Amino acid sequence: MPTICMASSKGGCGKSTSSVVLATQLAQRGAPVTLIDADPNRPVSAWAKRPGRPEHLTVLSDVSEATIIDEIEKAAQTTPFVIVDLEGTASMTVAYAISRADLVIVPVQGSQLDAAEAAKAIRLIRQQEKAFGRAIAYAVLFTRTSAAIRPRTLQHIRAELDGAGIPIFRTQMHEREAFRAIFSFGGTVEHLSSTQVGGLDAAVKNARELAAEVVALLRKPALKEAAA
């Protein structure tokens, strides 16, 4: 069963938001999902305590450097999807989790600083590939972008990543009030009310596009073999 890790050595780049959005979208499709909160700040666990968590979504938070591999492997035996929200630092917990991943998503905001931190995450992925003798798929996910404006900085960073052969998600996690609101009100973007936040239709479309692209990527033959 596939394990997906959200990894970046930079905090605040959208790992937790992307983790919750992806996990809730998959769970709402009827697929049991285990979401592991490996961030010491426990943002996912705080969200899970609010109402509206999908029935098929389990959140685990009592994980450490000593237990992260066991928790991932146990969850992978019982649920079709395991998503791990990792802390925003380079640590052994992060390295151990990546070593068990079938897909690592590297969230990046449209800044050169974030791009540099993404490069560190990719180097760590490649180190784990060498250490464990297995290929680990990964892709950069641009987060907190504008749906209407494409800044030159973002275009430049994307061109640099393309030139280096770094895989990039077509979907971007746009800056949406609804994505922030689920951490205040709980649940999923579909269950938010227009009285709570605007732009819901666009947020739902964005969330579903992300989930669809992740599923399509996991269906690629190389990834299916790795996750088997």
Domain count across the chain: 1
What are the DSSP calls for 47-87, one per residue? HHTSTT--TTEEEE----TTTHHHHHHHHHHH-SEEEEEE-
Quick: pLDDT tens for 154-207.
Answer: 888 999 999 999 999 999 999 999 999 999 999 999 999 998 899 999 999 999
pLDDT tens over the chain, length 228 residues: 799 999 987 777 889 999 999 999 999 999 999 999 999 899 999 999 999 999 999 999 989 999 999 999 999 999 999 999 998 777 899 999 999 999 999 999 878 888 888 888 999 999 999 999 999 999 999 999 988 777 888 888 999 999 999 999 999 999 999 999 999 999 999 999 998 899 999 999 999 999 999 999 998 875 555 455
Q: Is the dihedral of CA 186, 59, 108, 117 positive or negative?
A: positive
Instruction: Output the pTM of the full model.
Output: 0.92
**Structural domain boundaries enclosing 180:** 3-227
Whether the Cβ atoms of residue 31 and residue 82 lie closer than 8 Å to each other: no
Query: What is the spatial distance between Cα 103 and Cα 167, in angstroms, rounded to a whole number?
Result: 12
Tokens describing residue 183: 């951490």
CATH number at residue 14: 3.40.50.300
Query: What is the spatial distance between Cα 34 and Cα 19, in angstroms, rounded to a whole number?
Result: 11
Query: What is the spatial distance between Cα 59 and Cα 67, in angstroms, rounded to a whole number?
Result: 15
